[in-house]
Every structure is written in structure tokens, then in C-alpha cells.
Amino acid sequence: MTKSPRGVRVRRAVCRALFVVGGVITLVCVLLPIACWRDDVAIERSMGQAVAQVDSVSFNRTVVRYATPDGRVIIPSQGVLYPDGLKVGDNVRVEYDQTNPELTRVAGRTATLSLLPVGTFLVSVWIVIAAVVTVLRRFGVRV
């Protein structure tokens, strides 16, 4: 058995590493909608409804405040699920898990909203990986 040139071995290692990274990203992208669906099921199992006020909106979290029928004021620490389009000061209907009011979503929105952005991101990642692997294999770029 003859040893491959160093450049070939490096290109193969880079290709394998890209496929591993792509696999991990794919796994996360598959688990994300599953987690959203699980949260939706928990909310629907013991659903409460309220009108919430949007207190803050940031890149990673939208904070809302609402009162439950027993008078408790709830401010979910992780924010509200499916907050797209909300602005500070908005009043919005929310649905929450009565056994865990921290789990709150905007009324009428479900895990299906996660499919398009996750799918688009996943397709983009694999297009980039395929392009890099093609360049490495076809053109024999020396690394």
C-alpha cells in the first residue's frame, strides 16, 4: 500500500471534518422543531390564555408580562415562543402551560413556524459544504 501525498490526505481530512460539522448542524436543525413541537404539546395539554404586554424585544428573547386568572403576574425568563413581529408596548394574546407558566407562546402560532427558517438554514449550510468539497476535490487545491 502506497501512502497518499500529504495534500491529498489534508483535503480528505478537511472534507471529512466538513461532513461531520454538517452532520452535527443537521442533527441540531432536526431537534429544534421537535423541541418546539414538544413545547406546543405541553401547552395544549394544560392551556391557559391571557393578554400579555411586550416589555422588551432583543435578538435572542422577547419578554412579555401577563396575569393569570389567580392574579399572579408572570414574566417568562426565557421569553415567549414564536415572537416574530412583536414590538415593545404591544398587547398580544398568549397561550401558556398552566402547570408551568414559564412556557408561553403567542396565541395561534405553532412549531410549524420553525420549519421554514430551520430548513432554509440547513439547505444553505449543505450548499456551502458541497461547494467547498467540490472545489477541494475537483481542483486539487493544495492546503
By residue range, what is the domain housing residue 57?
Answer: 5-139
pLDDT at 143: 45
| pLDDT 10s digits, 72-124 | 999 999 999 999 899 999 999 999 999 999 999 999 999 999 999 999 999 99
What CATH number has the domain bearing residue 38? Answer: 2.40.50.100
Q: Which three cell numbers stand for residue 33?
A: 422543531
> Which pTM was predicted?
0.78
Interval 118-137 mean pLDDT:
95
Number of domains the chain is built from: 1
**CA-to-CA distance for 137 and 143, rounded, in angstroms?**
12
pLDDT, averaged across the chain: 91
**CA-to-CA distance for 25 and 53, rounded, in angstroms?**
35
